[in-house]
Amino acid sequence: MNDSFTSGDDIDAVRRIALADIPDGGAVAARLPSSTGGFDVILVRVGERVLGYHNECPHAGRRLDWAPGRFIVDKGHLVCAAHGAMFKLDSGFCTSGPCMGNGLVPVALNIDGDAVVLAQ
């Protein structure tokens, strides 16, 4: 496991992301703009469904990506790069690791044609 801190500072704040940019069974990073600099989020795709979560692990508050926007996905789970907690893609529920039984905080979003629109 890579234990390095990733800041995500090179991820632009956007509200619309093309569905085609989110691979089925994969995850991408985004930043939801706000008056305080934005919130880092994760968008995952499971078939036709797209789910959003705050990019903050419930174990120690670290980002889940091992480098900005690069996530480990294994057997339908998003894996926290810091200490290996595993979260179900379709619910954010932690099934293994130091925060088992907790979950990622969901982010509201909508599908608008061929794009995902992040809500606030």
List of residues contacting ligand FES (CB under 6 A): 57, 59-60, 62, 80, 82-85, 97-98
CB neighbour list of residue 72: distance below 8 Å, 6 or more residues apart: 66, 78, 79, 81
Choice between 38 and 98, CB closer to ligand FES: 98
How far is the C-alpha of 103 from the C-alpha of 97, rounded, in Å? 11
| Phi, psi dihedral angles at 21 (to 5 degrees) | -85, -5
Choice between 69 and 98, CB closer to ligand FES: 98
Q: Report, in Å, the least distance between residue 81 CB and ligand FES.
A: 8
Q: Report, in Å, the least distance between residue 45 CB and ligand FES.
A: 21
Choice between 52 and 116, CB closer to ligand FES: 52
Q: Report, in Å, the least distance between residue 21 CB and ligand FES.
A: 25
How far is the C-alpha of 15 from the C-alpha of 34, rounded, in Å? 11
Choice between 13 and 72, CB closer to ligand FES: 72
Angle at alpha carbon of residue 83, lines to 71 and 36, rounded to 5°: 60
